[in-house]
Amino acid sequence: MNYITEKVREIPVKESCDVLVAGGGIAGISAALAAAREGAKVTLIEREYTLGGLATLGLIAIYLPLCDGKGRQVSFGIAEELMRLSIRYGTERREDTPAMKAWLSDEIDINKRKKYRFEAQYNPHTFAIECEQMLVKLGVKIIYGTVAVATETDNGKITHVVIENKSGRSAIAVKSVVDATGDADICKVSGAATELFKKGNSLASWYYYFKSGKVRLRLLGAIDDPNNPDQEGKLSDRKFSGVDGDELSEMTILAHAEMLKDIDSRRKDNPEYVPVCLPTIPQLRTTRRIVGITTSEIDDMHKRVESSIGMVGDWRKRGPVYELPFEILYGKEVKNLITAGRCISATDEMVEVTRVIPACAVTGQAAGIAAVMTDDFASIDVSELQKKLVASGVKLHEDELK
Ligand SMILES: Cc1cc2nc3c(=O)[nH]c(=O)nc-3n(C[C@H](O)[C@H](O)[C@H](O)COP(=O)(O)OP(=O)(O)OC[C@H]3O[C@@H](n4cnc5c(N)ncnc54)[C@H](O)[C@@H]3O)c2cc1C
């Protein structure tokens, strides 16, 4: 391969903030929301021109359960707030079902709740706008169409995040940074230890179509089948790491081709069958993540975690409850960098639990509050963080559940 050497160039430091959130998916939205509510000056950098990441632009519009499948809600705070916001314009599926009635009612009837999971299919478009409005009202500065590409560090701390957009390259001076890019991009460019998901990603091609006066989600490829987890409704044998530019373009083109094939085959029976919305970001389950001080593991279920920042259930089965330790959010190399969402520290097996929407909101909320409290995560007083989380509605331990 040939190389060129870029010329050293000065770039303007255009602004400063207390907390820079890189990535505006569910994790980034939650982190920005939590940090802004703590009174911080927050800047959110998003590569696309809409918030929500996979949960909106990726058309992954099923808000997986906030409960343990045994009638107990386990994820609270912003995880619940965003679920309720996502269905403010109604659910797209399971609407008016006994399930939603059982869970949305203020009256807790555990026998009714036991029967159903607390989950919903929402409209991604209204949800994205709702999230944007909420953050703007709180004073979060959202910078769209912008990629966080590099960092400057001094003494183990990020001092500036370098961004690129239509205006060119510039820098933002920061106190602390939340990496909510889904791919641990900031960890990677700052020298934090990271690892890749070993199994790779299957080809997914989910899209919306119009049928009988209703918009519906077509789940094509990468559908989890608990009885056959390696198949995932397979479209192709190829696996994708999700962190290679060429490969991502190939994946996108393949996904589009599969979609067209599917549309053509469905049009044979129904000539009026048309797609109405395509995903505009690659549908990747898990890619690169931080190597944290602690790594969350699948066998950690029902364990009491003293540094818990909130709980999640396992969307695939009823019963498990996980208390998530604060130490899975940050590593030892970069003092003022914390992660949230898909790129927190979890084993390949556990990522299946932590990568979904409720867990992204739980970790985002904790990361956002922590980022306001300190620029050195190893030295934070976790009990103070927990007090703030509890004050904002989060439950930390399984023994507190009703
Ligand atoms: C096929 C498939 C099916 C799924 N099904 C479900 C489901 O039914 N229910 C469920 O709950 N979950 C599901 N998931 C998982 C879930 O949708 C995601 O894991 C979750 O939404 C991830 O949120 P996040 O905020 O961590 O990351 P993302 O949604 O990936 O958000 C990251 C954001 O950061 C931006 N970004 C990335 N890099 C940069 C950068 N360098 N600079 C600036 N911005 C950047 C991206 O544009 C994006 O908006 C599914 C995922 C897939 C792929």
User: Can you say how many angstroms the Cα of residue 22 is from the centroid of all Cα atoms in its chain?
Assistant: 12
For ligand 1, whether the C-beta of 28 sits within 6 Å is yes
Q: What is the mean pLDDT of the chain?
A: 94
Cα 106 to ligand 1 centroid, rounded to whole Å: 31
Atom of ligand 1 nearest to the CA of 201: 53
Cα 394 to ligand 1 centroid, rounded to whole Å: 22
For ligand 1, whether the C-beta of 148 sits within 6 Å is yes
To the nearest 10 degrees (0 to 180), the angle between helices 124-137 and 26-37 is 20
List the structure tokens of 54. 């996979």
Cα 285 to ligand 1 centroid, rounded to whole Å: 7
Fold of 13-197+287-396: FAD/NAD(P)-binding domain (3.50.50)
pLDDT for 100-122, tens place per residue?
888 988 888 899 899 999 999 89
DSSP-assigned beta bridge partners for residue 346: 296
Residues shown for the chain = 402
Contact at 8 Å (CB) between 21 and 370? no
Cα 53 to ligand 1 centroid, rounded to whole Å: 5
For ligand 1, whether the C-beta of 71 sits within 6 Å is no
Q: Where are the domains of the chain?
A: 13-197+287-396, 207-277
pLDDT under 70: residue ranges of the chain: 92-96, 224-232
Q: In 293-402, where does DSSP find H-type helix?
A: 348-354, 357-373, 382-391
For ligand 1, whether the C-beta of 117 sits within 6 Å is no
Give the residue among 354, 358, 353 at the shortest CA–CA distance from 344. 354
pLDDT for 390-402, tens place per residue?
999 999 999 999 7
> Residue 18 has what pLDDT?
98
CA distance 80 to 317: 20
End-to-end CA distance of the chain: 61
Query: Which residue out of 47, 48, 51, 60 has the highest number of ligand 1 atoms within 8 Å of its CB and is therefore the one to mutate?
Result: 60
Cα 393 to ligand 1 centroid, rounded to whole Å: 24
Place of tokens 């590569």: 47
Q: What percent of the chain has pLDDT over 70?
A: 97
What residue's CA is closest to ligand 1, atom 4?
60
> Residue 392 has what pLDDT?
97
Contact at 8 Å (CB) between 141 and 42? yes
> Residue 217 has what pLDDT?
87
Q: What is the pTM of this model?
A: 0.97
DSSP-assigned beta bridge partners for residue 172: 15, 161
For ligand 1, whether the C-beta of 79 sits within 6 Å is no
List the structure tokens of 333. 């190399």
CA quadruple 240, 241, 246, 248: dihedral sign: positive
pLDDT for 137-166, tens place per residue?
999 999 999 999 999 999 999 999 999 999
> Residue 225 has what pLDDT?
59
